[in-house]
Chain A
Amino acid sequence: MPFIPHTESDIAAMLASIGVPGTDTLFDEIPVELNCGGLPGIPQGLSEMAVTRLMHGRAAQDGFYSSFLGAGAYEHHIPAAVWQIVSRGEFYSAYTPYQAEASQGTLQLLYEYQTMMAGLTGLDVSNASLYDGASALAEAVLMAVRANKAGIRRVLVPATVHPRYLAVARSTVKNQGIELVTVPYDEATGATDLDALDAIPGEAAALVIPQPNFFGVLEPVDALTDRAHARNMLAIAVVNPLALALLKPPGSPSQPSLAVPHPNPPPLAGEGKGGGGQGWGQKGADICVGDGQPLGVPLSSGGPYFGFMTARQTLVRQMPGRIVGRTVDLDGQPGFALTLQAREQHIRRSKATSNICTNQGLLVTAATIHMALLGPQGLKNVALASHANTRALLDRLCAIPGVERVFPGAFFHEAVIRVNSPVPDVLRALRAQGILGGYDLGRDYPERAGCILVCATETKTDDDLAQYAQQLERILSRRREAPPCAYKS
C-alpha cells in the first residue's frame, strides 16, 4: 500500500475543486523534452516478507572476502566507538533537523565537521555535506559555471576522473547547456597529459583535477592548477580525503590567520616538491570535493556514503548545501546557526544554488566522530599503512611471472597491474578462493583491457598479501600450462 493518505475520491475532489482533469495535468509546465516517460527499470513493489527474503539473499552474497578492491570505495577499520556513538538517539537522524537552531548539539557537530574538512582541504569554508562524491563533483561543476562572470558554460574534465563521477556529472549538466570536455591522459604515466590539455582550444569555467586519480596515480596538481588559473579557469579538486593526511592540501587559505592547521606531512616518495602546507600551484585550488566514505563509513555494498565540498571564501555564496556558522546569542553566549541561507531553495526558490543539496547527516556524524577519535596523527597513520601495504602488495604481485606494474610513478594506496590472462577470468578464479582481486579497468577504459586496479588498505596483513600473491601465481601458471581455450587443429 502506498504511503499516501488520500483516497481516490479525495484526489478527485481536490482536482475538481481546482478544475483540473487529472494529476498529470499539474505537471504540464515541465517541458516535454525533460519528461523521461516513466521508469521502466523500477520494478513493482514487494511485500515486507518478500523484501526480507530478497535482502537476506543479497546479504549472503556479500560473503567474507579478503578485499583488494578499491576504485572509489575503500575498506578501512572503523573503531567500534564510532557507530556506537552515532546510534545514540540524540544523533540518530538522517537530516539536519527542522528548526535546526533548537538542536544545538547537532549544529555543533556539523560545525566541527566543517572545520575538520576545511583544515584537511586547506580551504576557507565547507558545507554540511552533499549526497556523495559523484554528485559533489556535479555540484562543483554547476558552482563553477555560476561563478563565471563571462557566462562560459564549459568545463574540462580529465579522463582519469572516476568514470562514475563523470557519468553523474554528465547526467546532471546535460540539460543545462553545460559542455564537459575530456582531457586525455598520458599512456605512459597514467596522469593527465599536460600537452593535450594545452592543445584544447577555447575558454572554460573550470578544470577538474583528481588526486589521486582513478588509476591511483598522483597527478601533477601544481602544474594543472597553475594552467587552470593561467586560462581564467577555476581549479576543482576531486580528492580522497584520507590521502590528504599525507599529501599537501589542495587549497591555500585566503586568510592564514583563520586557517585551521593542516598536519603538514612530508611528501610521499616520488611526489613532487612538497608545498609545506601550501596548496596546489601558486594560488591553490578553488573548490574541493570528494567522497567521505573512507572517513568512517562502511562499504555497505556501495552506499549510502556522503559527499563533501569546501571552497574559497569568495565563492561561498555560490556554494550548494547547508552551512553552519558559529555566533553569539543575546546574552553573548556562543551558539550555532544555519547561515547564508539566502542561497537555499526555501528562500531563493528556482534560483537556489542547488535543489538536490540533501546532506547526509548521519554519515557526517560518523565521519566527524571517526576523525575526532583518530586525530590528525591517526589519520596519517592509516594513510601511511595503506600506502605501505599497497607498496608491499605490488612488490609481491610484480614478482609473479606474467604480472607487471603499468604506470611507474607515485601512487597513494591504489595502483594498476597488467596480467597476461583475461582479467574477468582471473578475478573470478580469485573470488572462488575468497579474494576480491581488484577492479577490471577494461570495463571503463577499453585500451586498458588486461589491467587490474588493486588496493591494499591498512586492514590487510602480510599474510593477506601473501595469500593474494600465492593464489594469483597459481591461477596464472595453471592458465599458462593448460590454456582454457586450447585450439583444435
Chain B
Amino acid sequence: MSIPANLKYAKSHEWARLEADGTVTVGITHHAQDLLGDMVFIENPTVGRKLAAGEECAVVESVKAASDVYSPIAGEVVEANADVEASPESINQDAYAAWMFRLKPDNAADLDGLMDAAAYQAFVDSEAH
C-alpha cells in the first residue's frame, strides 16, 4: 500500500498537497485507483468554479465503475490537469503524480482537518473489515 507521508487525505479517498505558491493540488489515492481498476475517463471541474469542502466536483470512470470525486477543502479551481484527462491510465500508473486539479484554498488551515498518512492507513484498514 502506497501512502506518501507528505500528503493529506480525505475519507472519500482524495489526496491533497499544499504547494509553495499557496495552491492545493488534488488527486485520488493509490488505494482508490486500485479499487476502481483501469481508468478510462476523467472529468475535471472547470477552472474558476468555487467548491465547498466535500462538494462533488469531478468524475473518474473505470472499466467497471464511475465514481465521484469530492473536494477535500473549500476553494476555487485554478487549474485542471488536461494531461490526466487525455491519459486516464496515468492515474493507475502513479496516482500521486497524476494529479487532477489545483485549488486556491479559502483557508489553507483547512488542510489540518484532513487525515495524515498514518490516519489514512488506519482508515483504509478499518474499511477493509
Contacts and interface: CB of A to CB of B under 8 A. Distances in A.
A348 interface: yes
A149 B46 contact: yes
A348 B46 contact: no
A351 B64 CA distance: 15
Contacts of B64: 347
Contact of A317 (B41, B65, B68): B41
A347 B68 CA distance: 13
A149 B48 CA distance: 11
A343 interface: yes
Give the size category of B's interface with A.
Answer: 10 to 19
Interface string B54-71: 000000011011101000
Contacts of A81: none
A317 B46 contact: no
A342 B46 contact: no
A317 B65 CA distance: 13
Where chain A touches its partner, the secondary structure class is helix
Nearest to A348: B66
Interface string A139-150: 000000000010
A317 B59 CA distance: 11
Contacts of B41: 317, 342
B85 interface: no
Contacts of A343: 66
A449 to B, nearest CB: 49
Contacts of B38: none
B79 interface: no
A487 B41 CA distance: 75
A149 B66 CA distance: 19
B76 interface: no
Contacts of B46: 149
Where chain B touches its partner, the secondary structure class is strand
Nearest to A149: B46
A230 B59 CA distance: 28
A347 B66 CA distance: 7
Interface centre among B46, B61, B62, B64 (most CB of A within 10 A): B61
A325 to B, nearest CB: 12
Interface centre among B41, B43, B64, B66 (most CB of A within 10 A): B66
A149 B68 CA distance: 16
Interface in A314-348: 317, 342-343, 347-348
B66 to A, nearest CB: 4
Contacts of B62: 342
Contacts of A348: 66
Contacts of A347: 64-66
A149 B77 CA distance: 14
Nearest to B43: A317
B129 to A, nearest CB: 24
A68 B43 CA distance: 50
Interface of A: 149, 317, 342-343, 347-348, 351
16 contacts: A149-B46, A149-B49, A317-B41, A317-B43, A317-B61, A342-B41, A342-B61, A342-B62, A342-B65, A342-B66, A343-B66, A347-B64, A347-B65, A347-B66, A348-B66, A351-B68
CB-CB nearest 7 A-B residue pairs: A342-B66, A342-B61, A149-B46, A348-B66, A347-B65, A342-B65, A347-B66
Given A149-B49, A317-B61, 14 more contacts: A149-B46, A317-B41, A317-B43, A342-B41, A342-B61, A342-B62, A342-B65, A342-B66, A343-B66, A347-B64, A347-B65, A347-B66, A348-B66, A351-B68
